[in-house]
Chain A
Amino acid sequence: MLGLIVNPVAGVGGPAGLAGSDGDAVQRRATERGATPRAADRALAALAVVADARPGASVLTAAGPMGEDVVRRAGLDPIVVSRPVTPTSPADTVAAARALADAGASLVLFTGGDGTARDIATALATDVPALGIPAGVKMYSPVFAVSPRAAGGLAAAWLAADGRGLPVHEREVLDVDEEALRRARVEPRLFGVLAVPTRPGRTQARKAATPAGEQAAVAGAARGAASAMRPGVRYLLGPGGTMTEVARELGISKTPLGVDVVLDGRVVQAGASEADLLEQLAAGPAKAMVSVIGGQGFLLGRGNQQLSARVIRALGDDPVMVVAPEQKLIDLGGRPLLVDTGDAEVDVGLAGYVRVITGSATTSIYPVHAPEHEGEGHAP
């Protein structure tokens, strides 16, 4: 059964010219400027597609503006399992998502932006698949469908897939500093992951070799990285699922959100701080190993406290090894990879093209851009 959570204030800040919608102050200001909540309309567009395919279907949801109203408007049957406090807060979203999971939702749809995605991830992790209906201003997390109707199409396909659902893949939920965004500097941090359904390519002739499954592709890239690691060299493994896979390939465990230092197949420092890393670098040759975070293509950002500009400088020439499955590059849709360490000289040194390890015998060459001017953001 589907579940639905609507973040009723999501998207309020956007058209009113305010970045993001978090914070009561911003929400009040937006309403003063005449902004009307868009989230409900977007959710309705998605549910309309579901209603076409399954008229009158039941949808687990939260009361009132957090989903019940929209479900009813779409001609579907709401089953309310959670009641929010008004005005709604992140805690309401988390509670609602937990309630949907407990009630047996097999797929949770949510409207909102990155903030809502974080709340859903807090509640569900990867236990229950989730899919975002885009409605917020910020959508750095690749957990959203391309449009409300596309989300509805995926949900309809989920229901149609004979109870076996669709394949799900882990997608990063990113954390963007609101204040930094308002100062027009953006560098997302990895917050967590959600399990997001995808529509498999089933039709069309396989004239070419079958594409690697996403899991296999990540594993392949990780194998490539592992086989490229040299003895006596310290590798600073950054955050993200691909780096976790590299660790698995080496037979070690890794802190998923932090930077771990690996030397000759052993972890010599887990969850290192910037100071820790500088100390490690003094001990011998080293390289940073990173993957591509999120749909925006960030390799390194100022928000990354550990792999800072100072650390990159200290690594010397050719400081970074990039590891990612080819699909991550393709998902960028032609946009360049991004580095923004806060140090213009370091950024310029990293910009140009980068070699990305995509498999044990394959690499790709991809463009990398640095911010041209201090203070300008990269928001699309």
Chain B
Amino acid sequence: MSLPIAPKPGIRRFHQARWDEPLVFELSTPGERGVAVPPVERDVRTEVGDVVGALPDGLRRATPPALPELGQMRVLKHYLRLSQETLGADLNVDVGQGTCTMKYAPKVNERLVSTPDLTAMHPLQDADDAQGVLEIVWRTERMLAEISGMDEVSLHTQGGSAAIWANIAMIRAYHEANGEGDVRREVITTIFSHPSNAAAAKAAGYDVITLHPDADGYPDLAALRLALSPRTAAIMVTNPEDTGIYNPAIREWVDAAHAVGALASYDQANANGILGITRARDAGFDVCHFNLHKTFGTPHGCGGPGAGANAVSAALAPFLPGPRVVRDRDRFVVEEAGPASIGSVAPFHGVIPNIVRAYAWLMALGAPGLRAVAETAVLNNNYLMKKVLEIPGASAPYAVGRRRIEQVRYSWQELHEETGITSEEIGVRASDFGMHYWTSHHPYVVPQPFTLEPTESYSMAELDEYAAVLAEVAREAREEPETVRTAPHRQTVHHTHHDDLDDPDRWAITWRAYRRKYFGGTAA
């Protein structure tokens, strides 16, 4: 064949990298070294002698750890191949991981944070030597205070669930300080709120009351009123919920909680569609949290590090974790947490690289940018919803005919009834096209769910591409279901058998466990 080249087909002929790469242990060659360590200086050795030999018997390791031995380039090559076998948001139209807010993490931020001016800083250095990082922490706190409308902000937590924990820990401390710690034993949440709300409340010692939505999928205020009592410590709600539905009665919810002396905690993991539109404080919340790795553009890192931000009213400020960054005229200093603080929730000041990335992201966008982020995220979501609902077999339960905020929880129930193919099978086949999605938090309230959140980062053409892939897989479910059922076909590995993962006698969480169970402890 010769030029010109035919047009590309509508759906790309994707194939994931497939290196068939062994486990790193299998690449071990005795004597190879990946990186060398400086030797003990001669004078030091003269002075201290054989420090290893001098260790008490119980402390001296008898045999070396069975770590693999590889040369440096081989380690690099191995891990780069694994990286190629991973579908990051930078590489795919990552609108499928609903509620994760897989937006663009600007590359300039990677360059900015990797300066030794930041990486080589120790948190206990003289504050005079840390004015740059302290100022960034302080300014980021102030910006998040403005965005949330709250009075004080802490950036100590390392993720959204950790921030939820910090919120409930502060609420617990608040009630204890008021002498009501023994009385207020209950926390109220909803079935669509992130499970970490209930889980953190339970870990903090509370009984959890879960409310189910009304027939339209909106949080049920009447049910809330029934659940509230003088035993209520707090309501913990996510709004908009993962269905993408905003609770129009949110203010009434907060007021109802306050009326019984309970506090209101706001899970703002889903803030991306409402930045600059509506704020936590204006709805009356006492505490809220953000996920910096969702809304504020820090990368997800395969599952962390993330970073959480807690924003609280003045009444809750004394309970914030420490240490705190304080502005003293034109200097920034570190102050230990006050006597009422819940203490340190994490080492030092939080996930500094992500705080700096979030700072840069906010500075790149400003108020008009955040407004554009929110509006575009919502526009993208409603646009994608229109395209997805054109696919036969897909539906968007609840709030039928109404707009959504920044994400939608869809259902393949109709397609499932028609074909027997499940939502999970569709998701696996989608990976053959370089796409993926997330179904839902457990429990699956929406049957055969898939939750899409486009964010503001993807172009219209990319949203079209994503919808086209879903439509194609739905077509296959009807016309060639075995293709879907036996997927994936163009991925790094083939259909995986998961039964061994649930059987204690068979599961292998590490290479050494695998060798022990199946090869009598020798190298496989």
Contacts and interface: CB of A to CB of B under 8 A. Distances in A.
Among the interface residues A202, A210, A329, which one has the most CB atoms of the partner chain B within 10 A?
A202
A149 B213 contact: no
Interface stretch (A79-87, A116-124, A308-316, A360-368): A360-368
A326 B210 contact: yes
A327 interface: yes
B507 interface: no
Interface in B310-358: none
Interface stretch (A29-37, A57-65, A151-159): A151-159
Contacts of B149: none
B359 interface: no
B391 interface: no
Contacts of B499: 161-162, 164
B197 to A, nearest CB: 10
Interface in B477-520: 481-482, 485, 497-499
Nearest to A202: B498
A223 to B, nearest CB: 13
B215 interface: yes
B203 to A, nearest CB: 10
Interface string A207-219: 1111100000000
Contacts of B444: 201, 330
Among the interface residues B195, B206, B214, which one has the most CB atoms of the partner chain A within 10 A?
B195
Interface string B218-236: 0010110011000000000
A208 B223 contact: no
Contacts of B497: 162
Nearest to A366: B212
B153 interface: no
Given A162-B497, A330-B445, A362 B420 contact: no
B196 interface: yes
A53 interface: yes
Contacts of B419: 49, 149, 153
Contacts of B208: 361-363
Contacts of B206: 361
Interface residues of A, number: 43
Given A161-B499, A211-B443, A365 B212 contact: yes
B424 interface: yes
A2 to B, nearest CB: 15
A103 B448 CA distance: 35
Nearest to A52: B482
A365 B445 contact: no
Nearest to B224: A365
A153 B416 CA distance: 9
Interface residues of B, number: 50
Contact of A209 (B195, B418, B439, B481): B195
A266 interface: no
A333 interface: yes
Contacts of B15: none
B209 A363 contact: yes
B211 A365 contact: yes
Contacts of A363: 207-210
A333 B416 CA distance: 16
A203 B212 contact: no
B212 A146 contact: no
Contacts of A207: 100, 438, 441
A202 B422 contact: no
A208 B202 contact: no
Contact of A150 (B196, B209, B222, B420): B420
Interface string A347-380: 0000011010010011111110000000000000
Contacts of A329: 212
B442 interface: yes
Contacts of B404: none
A284 interface: no
A199 interface: yes
Interface in A119-174: 146-147, 149-154, 156, 161-162, 164
Contact of B424 (A151, A202, A327): A202
B441 A353 contact: no
Contacts of B195: 208-209
A329 B209 CA distance: 14
Contacts of B485: 53, 153, 156
Given A52-B482, A362-B198, A362-B202, A205 B438 contact: yes
25 contacts: A53-B482, A146-B413, A146-B447, A147-B420, A149-B418, A149-B420, A150-B416, A153-B419, A153-B420, A199-B422, A201-B442, A201-B444, A202-B424, A203-B439, A208-B194, A326-B191, A327-B443, A330-B443, A330-B444, A352-B226, A353-B222, A362-B208, A363-B208, A364-B209, A367-B212
Interface of A: 49, 52-53, 146-147, 149-154, 156, 161-162, 164, 199, 201-205, 207-211, 326-327, 329-330, 333-334, 352-353, 355, 358, 361-367
Q: Which 8 A-B pairs have the closest CB atoms?
A: A153-B420, A147-B417, A211-B442, A149-B420, A208-B195, A364-B210, A365-B223, A203-B424
Given A149-B417, A365-B223, 7 more contacts: A153-B485, A201-B442, A203-B427, A210-B442, A211-B443, A361-B208, A362-B202
